[in-house]
């Protein structure tokens, strides 16, 4: 689509420019029925991305915490910033200075600039400040309960589950859901050197350090997560998230990088210090198409975070909604005189017919306004979106001046 990155060039993610095409009589192309119009390339945008890190604060994570703190800023944040994507990073982990215990958390974490806004020098660790892109939800993540903290923290205020520290004022009174966006794709990254074993609302998630136990626990967690909010996380038939695991499993063969979703479960552990292979987390990564890395390779976290960030950028999906370009100079937008044309990468053009609203899409598809009374963008029906999205060299134009072509005859 216009504005989409492609192998042959084009606009990068987040490009807001629009091409104006003039021609025909008096500088305006003609439809052949006496109607002349002006066309402008509609700008395609990428879906927003919410990246949710859950990081274990237990005593065995002292080496990993320091590296995660450094690499989030030096590597991951830089790649995401350079991508032009609309992203957020939500960190779920106990806030504080590395090496200074807070409550039950022996290894808290603080993210400073450029990703975070806090200077990480507060001895009482109460002055957490979130920014435009980075949000920390302070909660004690233990050796085995990352999943339950993710589920519980969704709707509970930060610092839940532990004695509130003096001077702390919750930043997310209704849970980290406040930081998530319903239209964003979710990318989970868990960092722990142990296995899954916790309880949430009467359901126990325990991988038993076995393949079968891990697969059952992963299905149970997936079910619970989707039940929390289908709007945020999707459904079993169409998940709106992927889950990456940085856990205590064995390293892949030299030079092979991450374990991919199609690789079998790994029961071996990485170097000394790993508490377990994290079979539940592994199974969830395999279920959702995520990657698996050994947590023991803390000195290689730059490569791990680079791979995850690169994968997010490469896999970003185009929205099938386009902001309506400004009409020609001196003209005003007449919603009844707007049309939409799709031109494939091979040069074949077709008009997309207008339907009244999303409920009117049906099998044949079409396009509709976000707000018929005060429109700001045109949106493709699901079947139309599926038809045009794979064509990265294609183009969508918004045409001004002619009576809107509709599916109603």
Least confident of 34-38, 68-72, 117-121: 34-38
Using one digit for the tens of pLDDT, what is the confidence trace for 27-47?
334 444 556 667 777 766 778
Report pLDDT for 394: 78
Q: Which of 281-290, 306-315, 336-345, 374-383 has the highest mean pLDDT?
A: 281-290
Task: Average the pLDDT over 115-138 and give the result.
Answer: 88
Residue 3 pLDDT grade (very low, low, confident, very high; cuts 50, 70, 90): very low
Residues 6+ apart with CB under 8 A from 90: 50, 51, 52, 53, 135, 136, 137, 176, 179, 180
Residue 399 pLDDT grade (very low, low, confident, very high; cuts 50, 70, 90): confident
Residues 6+ apart with CB under 8 A from 371: none
pLDDT at 20 over 60: no
Residue limits of CATH 3.40.50 in the chain: 49-314
CATH number 3.40.50 is the correct assignment for the domain at 49-314? yes
Report pLDDT for 12: 33
For all residues of the chain together, what is the average pLDDT? 83
Residues 6+ apart with CB under 8 A from 347: none
> CA 360 → CA 323, 368, 384, distances in Å?
21, 9, 13
- How far apart CA 262 and CA 184 sit, in angstroms, is 26
Report pLDDT for 9: 27
Using one digit for the tens of pLDDT, what is the confidence trace for 345-375?
888 999 999 999 999 998 889 999 999 888 9
Report pLDDT for 37: 63
Report pLDDT for 205: 97
- How far apart CA 49 and CA 86 sit, in angstroms, is 6
pLDDT at 51 over 70: yes
Task: Average the pLDDT over 78-101 and give the result.
Answer: 88
> CA 22 → CA 37, 40, 307, 345, distances in Å?
9, 9, 43, 20
Model pTM score: 0.76
- Whether residue 284 contacts residue 222, with contact meaning beta carbons closer than 8 Å, is answered with yes
Least confident of 5-14, 288-297, 377-386: 5-14
Backbone angles phi, psi at 121, to 5 degrees: -115, 5
């Amino acid at each position: 689509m216009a504005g989409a990155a492609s192998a042959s060039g084009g606009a990068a993610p987040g490009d807001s420019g629009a091409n104006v095409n003039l021609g025909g009589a008096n500088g305006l192309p003609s439809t052949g029925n006496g109607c002349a119009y002006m066309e402008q390339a509609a700008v395609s945008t990428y879906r927003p991305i919410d990246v949710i890190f859950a990081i274990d604060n237990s005593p065995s994570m002292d080496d990993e915490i320091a590296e995660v703190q450094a690499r989030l800023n030096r590597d991951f944040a830089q790649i995401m910033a350079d991508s032009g994507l609309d992203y957020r990073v939500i960190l779920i982990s106990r806030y504080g200075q590395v090496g200074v215990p807070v409550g039950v958390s022996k290894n808290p974490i603080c993210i400073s600039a450029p990703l975070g806004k806090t200077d990480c020098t507060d001895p009482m660790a109460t002055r957490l400040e979130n920014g435009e892109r980075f949000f920390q939800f302070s909660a004690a993540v233990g050796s085995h309960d990352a999943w339950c903290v993710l589920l519980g923290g969704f709707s509970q205020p930060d610092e839940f589950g532990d004695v509130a520290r003096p001077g702390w004022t919750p930043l997310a009174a209704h849970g980290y859901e406040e930081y998530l966006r319903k239209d964003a794709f979710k990318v989970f990254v868990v960092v722990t050197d142990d296995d899954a074993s916790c309880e949430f609302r009467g359901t126990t998630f325990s991988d038993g350090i076995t393949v079968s136990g891990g697969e059952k626990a992963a299905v149970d967690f997936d079910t619970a997560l989707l039940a929390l909010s289908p709007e945020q996380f999707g459904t079993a038939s169409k998940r709106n998230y992927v889950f990456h695991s940085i856990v205590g499993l064995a390293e892949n063969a030299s030079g092979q990088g991450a374990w991919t979703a199609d690789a079998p479960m790994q029961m071996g552990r990485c170097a000394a210090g790993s508490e377990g292979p994290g079979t539940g987390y592994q199974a969830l990564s395999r279920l959702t198409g995520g990657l698996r890395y050994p947590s023991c390779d803390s000195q290689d976290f730059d490569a791990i975070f680079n791979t995850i960030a690169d994968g997010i950028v490469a896999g970003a999906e185009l929205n099938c909604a386009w902001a309506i370009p400004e009409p020609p100079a001196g003209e005003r937008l007449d919603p009844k005189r707007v049309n939409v044309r799709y031109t494939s990468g091979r040069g074949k053009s077709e008009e997309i017919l207008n339907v009244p609203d999303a409920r009117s899409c049906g099998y044949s598809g079409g396009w509709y306004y976000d707000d018929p009374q005060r429109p700001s963008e045109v949106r493709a029906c699901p079947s139309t979106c599926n038809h045009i999205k794979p064509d990265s060299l294609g183009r969508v134009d918004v045409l001004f001046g002619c009576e809107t072509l509709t599916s109603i005859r």
